[in-house]
Each structure stands twice: as structure tokens, then as C-alpha cells.
Structure 1
């Protein structure tokens, strides 16, 4: 038997204001289910033959829109259930509708997602999401709104505001990719229906800008590695740059967290802070010499970034920010002195070693595994398929 969805004025029940509630009536297999619309009208304002509000009904336009949207919601769910060959009753259909969209705001969802990242100890990405949250608050004054409010017109206005505030194209792109991630999370958690997804019309890809070259040739890498200075404060930045290069492009935050426990069978074994992926790399002679230089029996860490006194996440974050700022500032000074083509940072070492291996013919998949690119699908496919010898051979191209 075909199911029907109707809206009617429930005249048998009269409210204290003298009006009658409007009800959704679901008919399926001879059984009926009534669900309140949360609205009521007086009998004289309702056409009982056509089950629509009369022209003289107050808020008639609003009521008609609400009725149309609610009927569409139920009818769409029926089509979905039938396309999946799923059986349903009037009760189960209503349960799916009432539980499908939870009334959570953009504010609620951002805070939930940030809290989730914090629990996963993904502090770097958490701070990036927090930055976008702060930007949206500054733009809109509040986020006490629903995801359906974030349509393409709203996004275009936000983009214009960002440009008027002088943000670079890549920074704007990061803002929108993060916002898109939050919207996808909201869809996944049934906070908003996928049909409202605004990024089908508003294309984030248009904000992508080719990133400036961040890799150096072997010759320029050698200039940095052999740089000499009487300034003792220049030694740590050079050594951290060199260790990044010799240790498979390891990120600065992962270097900071290394302890002697990460050295196993002449290999560096650690989990990337960003992705949680397990990395196992050969400990090259050059990397060993750098580690030995900073050996301190009173410090559990291999490098003088953290110490035993850095216990809380906030203490570590503050210390990390301070050290990386100083290291990159001094590396930039070295790069200018050597007249290198790009500003030097520890990330340049990471990018350069990957580029040098690629030019030497090392496969993208092996480079991805060395660098811990868990987001690359090809790397995931081959994640456990390379033996130590293959990775050892790949990294020989750096020397």
C-alpha cells in the first residue's frame, strides 16, 4: 500500500488560546501516525477540504513554507528508504526524520570538533581550526546560527571580508578548506542534511594558489650544511636543519619530542604528531653525529628543545613556538648571507630532501612513506609494502 504524507488541522483538540494544532499525518499500511508541526491556527482560518490555510490566515506564507518543507523532508526520506530497499512503518519513518538532524549550531560544532582534536592530541591542527573559529567570530560577531545559514552568498561575503582585511590568497584558501571540513563533519554527524552543502556552488578550489618554490638543490643544501659561524647560537639551527634533511624530512615538532626510546635497532622509530602514523627510518651516520653532539644525561629528549620541566601541553606549545621562531629567524639570516634563492626554514629541509629523492627516481609512494604522508592515497596502499632495504636505498640519494 502506498504511503501518504498530509498536513491537517487537528480540530478535535483545542489549545488554551482557542486554536487547533497543525499535525503531520503519516499513513502507511493502514496505520496512521500524527506528529505536531509546532504551529496552531483557528478553525476559521483553515480550509478543511484542501487542508491549507485560508487567504485570511495570519502568517499564511510562513505556514505554507513550513508545511512544504516538512512534507518534502518526509517524502525525501521515503524515496531514500525505497532506493535502499529498506522496509519501514509510519513510526520508524518518523523516528528517522526526528533523529536525522540535531539542532546544533555552528558554534556547538566548532567547539565539539576542537575538543575532539584536543583529545587526539592534534594540537597543531586544533590551533588552525581555532584560528578559523576566531576569524568567523570576528566577521559575524557570533556563530549562534545553523549550517543552513552558511549558503554560497554568506561564504562570498566572508571571502570579501577576508580580502578587505588584507589576507593572502593561500591564507583565505586555508580558512575555507577548514570551514569545509567542519561542514563535512556536521553532515557526517547528522547535524545538517547534505542537500544544503554550499560547497557545490562555492568552489574552494578557486582559492588555491601555486605555492612558492620551497626546495633547494643539493649544491645549496651543502652550502647550509657546511656553513661556519663564530656565533654559537647559529649552530643549533644548522644542526636541526641538517637533522631534518638526514632523517627523512622529519617535522620540527617530531624532532622536539624524540627521546632515546625512539632509537631502536639503529633506526628512528616514532609516531608523527600530526597524523599518528608510525615512521621507521634508518639512522644515518650524519644523524647519529648530530644526536651525539646534544647528548645530555639530565635531559630525556635528544635535542635541547624540551626538557624535563616541560610537562603540560601548554608548556610544550609555548616552548616549541619560541624555539622554532628563533631557529627559523636565524636560518633566514644564514640564507641571506649565503645568497640562497629562497628564505630558509626547517620546512625547506623537509621539502628539499623529498624533491632531491624524486629527481633521483625514487617513487612517490616510498617518499610518501618516509615523510609520513598519510593523506596520500597511494602511500596508504603501499604503506606496509616496502622493506627496510628499499627505504635505506632511497635515502642514499641525499648524500
Structure 2
């Protein structure tokens, strides 16, 4: 067992003649020292491991005792203590103490910087808003170790008090939870009681955004004259024809000399469940639109709109007008193409696993059936044809 004591080391006198208080760590017949922030004017102000004859002696002794208690708690948790040296023990103690000083803001920034590198700009902005709101509620940055279930519940109450929708509250709290889970996985913090253990996340409303066969046909066939609306309609239909592909994946894919798609969805590319590659043949309906916008280098360019931001903005601004002109009375978004493809497949009685594969969704590996089978391109091609044939 390691022993701790409060000392000064006369040979390590500071340049101004004063002395820094250190914690002596004795282990395996070795003694090493951990410096503290406390400084004494004279070596005589330490007696029997206590600070004496100092105006702040009582407070210093209390803080030093608390520090030793923390060190002893760390040592107690090390199951392999007999196998490590005194120097290694001090490294562990310093690391564990450093973790206690790691703040929410520093971890949130680290996580968001990683996200920035992955070009997830929209998600980055949401995380930034959520973390800034949380820090504001906490009245400034704070050590992660101080966070309790009461803080989470009170933060949720504050958000509800601002009349935010349940969906918005759920998004903010989900993002905060992701950051905390990242911190625990990186061993930045260890919670004996997780801050979210008592919190019940607001349920998400199912987004009724899918279109019926008749509605989708009306959108496909409506007469349009404005170029921007024609482009939005083509992008929406192409997204549907490609299994509800995400816009980022669509713009990043090189279609040059290809009659198929083989890609890993950007959203799940770094998923802990592994990469899920999707492969399927390009159907004639998709090829018509692809050939219309295909550039020499194999990528799609929609008129004067080429970047993700430009095209996303175009869709956001005009998808509502397109749905109105198509006689559709429900809310329609770009996501509706993906939701509609999946719903049409489900309505036909197609296996969920096959639909998941076609839309590039991460399939649940906890289903025992996946120990024996795998879905391949030939299965996907049949699914695409069966779904798209409904529009003939």
C-alpha cells in the first residue's frame, strides 16, 4: 500500500527562497513527490505533516488533507498496484486528477472539431447550439465530474419553460448526452451515477412525410416552367429512384461509366457498428435524370447549382412550391423521398432487412438471422424494380 505525507523538500527551494509544499508518495521502498499550489515562506512552517504559523494554515491543511484522501481513493481502485513502480503510480494519480479538471466545453469542442473534419456542417451547428445553451444554463463552463442528474432535469425544465417543442428539447438533450458518452468512452470522466440515469427523453413524433403512389406520380408528372422547380423535382425523383440516398452521398458519387451504385452512406461511415456498403443497379428511371446532369468528370451538376450548400438551399426554398403545384396538401421535404421509398417497399410486403439495405440504413446486427444470410445486389435490384414498377 502506498503512503502519503505532506512535506517540503529543502533541496528544491524556489529561486526567491520560499518552499513549495509537496505530497510525498512512498511505494515499493521508493519516494517520489507531487507538487501542490501551496507555498510557504520558511521550512519551519511545516511540522509533523501540517502547516503551522501561517495565516491561512487551517485552510491549507484542509485542502491538503482532501487531496491526500483523493489520492488514497485512487490507489484503492488500482487492482494491479503491487505490479507498478512509484513513478508509474504518480503518473496514474496525476492522470486521474487531471480528469477531474476536464470541462464540458473542452470535450464538446474536441468532439465538434472531429465532426468538422468529417464535413458534417449541419450536425456541427446543432451541437454548437446545444452545448452553448447548456453552458449558459450552468452559468459558465464546468468540470464534467460535477454534473449530476438534477442538472439535466433542471436544464430540460428550463427549455420547456422557454416553450420549445418536445422535438427541439429532445434534440438538444440527445446531443448533450452524446458528448457525455464520448467523454466516458475516452475515459475523460467516470460517473458512478450517469447524469441521464433519471431523465426520460421526450418521445419523438413520427414524421408523416411520405407520399402515396398517386401523390408521387403527380409530382413526377406536373408541368413546370421555372428552371429551379424543374431541378428540384429532378433531384427529388432521382433521390427516390436511388433508394432515398442522402444529398451529400448523391453529390459525392462518381457516375462515370457506371450502370450501378456502390457506396457507404456518409452518415454511418464511422458508425461503431461498422461500414454498410450498398450496391444496386441503376434503374432506367434514374439513368434518365443522371444523364441529364452528368458532367465530363462523372459528377452531377444541377445547372448553376453545384455545391452542397447551394443545392440544399435550393431544395429547402422550393420543395414547398413544388408540392403545392403538384396538388399535394401535406408537408413535403427532401427527406420525404427517402421516407416514401421505404414506405412503398413496406406497403408491398418487402422484408425490412432488404429495405434497410437499399436505403443504406445500418442493419441491426443483433438479429440472429444475420449469422446465416447476407443481402446482395441481386436482392436489392429486385426490390428497386418492384417498388419503381408501381409508378408505371
Which TM bucket (shorter chain)?
0.7 to 0.9
Deviation at 1:295, TM superposition (A): 3.4
Alignment of 1:51-62 (within 5 A): 58=56, 60=58
C-alpha change, 1:66 and 1:220, in structure 2 (3 Å) is farther
1:390 is the counterpart of 2:379: yes
Tell me the TM-score normalised to structure 2 length.
0.78
Deviation at 1:178, TM superposition (A): 1.5
CA contact (8 A) 1:78 1:93 kept: no
1:224 is the counterpart of 2:219: yes
Alignment of 1:70-89 (within 5 A): 70-82=68-80, 87-89=83-85
* 1:304 aligned to which of 302, 313, 325: 302
Give distance in 2, aligned partners of 1:31 and 1:357: 70
Equivalent residue number for residue 293 of structure 2: 295
Give distance in 2, aligned partners of 1:59 and 1:151: 32
1:270 is the counterpart of 2:269: no
Give distance in 1, aligned partners of 2:57 and 2:155: 32
Alignment of 1:168-247 (within 5 A): 168-190=165-187, 192-195=188-191, 198-203=194-199, 205-229=200-224, 233-247=228-242
Deviation at 1:247, TM superposition (A): 0.8
Equivalent residue number for residue 8 of structure 1: 6
Equivalent residue number for residue 358 of structure 1: 346
Tell me the TM-score normalised to structure 1 length.
0.76
Greater CA drift, 61-70 or 233-242: 61-70
Give distance in 2, aligned partners of 1:378 and 1:219: 37
Deviation at 1:389, TM superposition (A): 1.0
Greater CA drift, 383-392 or 112-121: 383-392
CA contact (8 A) 1:356 1:397 kept: no
Give distance in 1, aligned partners of 2:122 and 2:303: 17
C-alpha change, 1:245 and 1:297, in structure 2 (3 Å) is closer
1:97 is the counterpart of 2:93: yes
SS of structure 2 residue aligned to 1:386: coil
Equivalent residue number for residue 367 of structure 1: 355
Give distance in 2, aligned partners of 1:374 and 1:97: 41
Give distance in 1, aligned partners of 2:180 and 2:303: 37
Equivalent residue number for residue 328 of structure 1: 319
Equivalent residue number for residue 328 of structure 2: 338
Alignment of 1:20-35 (within 5 A): 22-35=21-34
Give distance in 2, aligned partners of 1:119 and 1:62: 45
CA contact (8 A) 1:170 1:207 kept: yes
SS of structure 2 residue aligned to 1:206: coil
CA contact (8 A) 1:331 1:345 kept: no
Aligned length: 377
Equivalent residue number for residue 249 of structure 1: 244
SS of structure 2 residue aligned to 1:194: coil
Greater CA drift, 134-143 or 27-36: 134-143
C-alpha change, 1:346 and 1:74, in structure 2 (3 Å) is same
Question: Any stretches of 5+ residues in structure 1 without a counterpart?
Answer: 311-315
Give distance in 1, aligned partners of 2:104 and 2:44: 40
1:38 is the counterpart of 2:27: no
Equivalent residue number for residue 313 of structure 1: none
SS of structure 2 residue aligned to 1:199: coil
Deviation at 1:296, TM superposition (A): 5.6
Residues 40-82 of structure 1 deviation map (CA, whole Å, 9 limit, x = unaligned): 578998783xx5679x984746753563355334433543333
RMSD of aligned Cα (Å): 3.9
CA contact (8 A) 2:103 2:143 kept: yes
